[in-house]
């Protein structure tokens, strides 16, 4: 048993790894749960809105919480209880973000326009902080430390190297990459430089939230039962699908299949390799730079 698995899911130390039939069955179940939480009840573009959306979220959240508590009180199922609790946590976090929307008061109070680089950055920061705080609170209520979310030092040197190299590459190439893939309009360094503080806030907030919500929250809990490969796939598929609503890519299909899919797997790998969330956050934030610049250029 590696230190990583022991830190993220101590119960797994007593668990015999399931065979491939059991793994595939569990993979299908967890994939369905991930799609339900992150796609059907997405905080970006949910399938159900209004009363149906609110009722559905509450019902599904209650079911996940009930399953977690049931599993925790039954010896044969106790090793699994953190997984349904993680889905409960994720759904609660994205629902609070979706319905609370503090930025509609914060942005005017700061004298900013909502449709401006500053306004979008503050909106993303507020949204991300809500999600992060909810995950941290519920993780603590479950008796888990921050390390269970990969919020730990790990191999910080490797994480920083990968993340900073990605930042350098994307910063140097931001104009051509944005114009080619993310609908960049009339981009020059003279126009772009004043946006950079807001770009950094936007991408770091978004990457921190998504890495915690999609990967830090789930990888350590699923890996003892699915193995690394299936864990990475089962967390990546909902992540890719939840971005299918976006309109910022020049070609959404290419963006999802040839850019976001391999990047998501790379972020999973880096989190596992470094035993930490920090490198994945930096790498993710770097790759979001041309997306933010493309959005800002079309305001």
Task: Tell me what the pLDDT averaged over the chain comes to.
Answer: 94
CB 235 within 8 A of CB 34: yes
CB 151 within 8 A of CB 271: no
Q: How many residues does the chain have?
A: 299
CB 151 within 8 A of CB 267: no
Q: Does the reported pTM lie above 0.85?
A: yes
CB 250 within 8 A of CB 180: yes
Tens digits of residue pLDDT in 134-172: 999 999 999 999 999 999 999 999 999 999 999 999 999
DSSP label at residue 277: S
Q: Give the number of other CB atoms < 10 A from CB of residue 50.
A: 8
pLDDT for res 24 = 94
Cα distance between residue 103 and residue 113, in whole Å: 11
CB 42 within 8 A of CB 248: no
Cβ neighbourhood burial of 172 (10 Å; 0-12, 13-18, 19+): exposed
DSSP label at residue 10: G
Q: Hey, where are the domains in the chain?
A: 3-297
CB 153 within 8 A of CB 279: no
pLDDT for res 7 = 47
- In this predicted structure, the answer to whether residue 111 has a pLDDT above a threshold of 50 is yes
96-100 long-range CB contacts below 8 Å, 24 or more apart?
96/130, 96/131, 96/134, 97/43, 97/127, 97/130, 97/131, 97/134, 98/43, 98/46, 99/54, 100/130
Task: Give me 67's structure tokens.
Answer: 């399953």
pLDDT for res 246 = 86
pLDDT for res 15 = 59
CB 35 within 8 A of CB 238: yes
**E strand segments, 7-108:** none
Tens digits of residue pLDDT in 39-98: 999 988 999 999 999 999 999 999 999 999 999 999 999 999 999 999 999 999 999 999
Cα distance between residue 261 and residue 257, in whole Å: 5
Tens digits of residue pLDDT in 46-56: 999 999 999 99
pLDDT for res 1 = 36
């Amino acid at each position: 048993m590696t230190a990583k698995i022991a830190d993220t899911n101590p119960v797994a130390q007593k668990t015999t790894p399931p065979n491939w039939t059991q793994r595939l069955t569990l993979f299908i179940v967890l994939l369905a749960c991930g799609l339900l939480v992150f796609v059907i009840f997405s905080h970006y573009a949910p399938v159900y809105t209004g009363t149906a959306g609110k009722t559905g979220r509450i019902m599904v959240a209650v079911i996940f919480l009930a399953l977690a508590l049931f599993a925790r009180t039954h010896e044969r199922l106790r090793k699994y209880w953190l997984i349904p609790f993680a889905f409960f946590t994720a759904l609660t976090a994205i629902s609070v973000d979706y319905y609370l929307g503090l930025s509609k008061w914060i942005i005017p109070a700061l004298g900013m326009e909502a449709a401006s680089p500053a306004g979008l950055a503050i909106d993303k920061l507020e949204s991300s902080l809500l999600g992060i705080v909810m995950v941290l609170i519920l993780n603590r209520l479950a008796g888990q430390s921050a390390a269970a979310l990969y919020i730990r030092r790990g191999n910080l040197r490797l994480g920083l190297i990968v993340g900073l190299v990605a930042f350098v590459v994307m910063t140097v190439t931001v104009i051509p990459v944005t114009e080619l893939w993310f609908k960049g309009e009339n981009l020059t360094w003279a126009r772009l430089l004043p946006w950079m503080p807001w770009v950094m806030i936007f991408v770091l907030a978004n990457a921190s939230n998504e890495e915690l919500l999609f990967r830090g929250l789930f990888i350590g809990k699923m890996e003892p039962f699915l193995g690394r490969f299936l864990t990475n796939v089962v967390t990546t598929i909902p992540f890719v699908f939840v971005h299918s609503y976006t309109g910022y890519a020049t070609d959404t299909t290419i963006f999802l299949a040839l850019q976001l899919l391999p990047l998501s797997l790379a972020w999973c790998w880096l989190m596992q390799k470094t035993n930490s969330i920090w490198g994945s956050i930096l790498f993710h934030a770097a790759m979001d730079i041309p997306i933010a610049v493309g959005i800002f250029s079309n305001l």
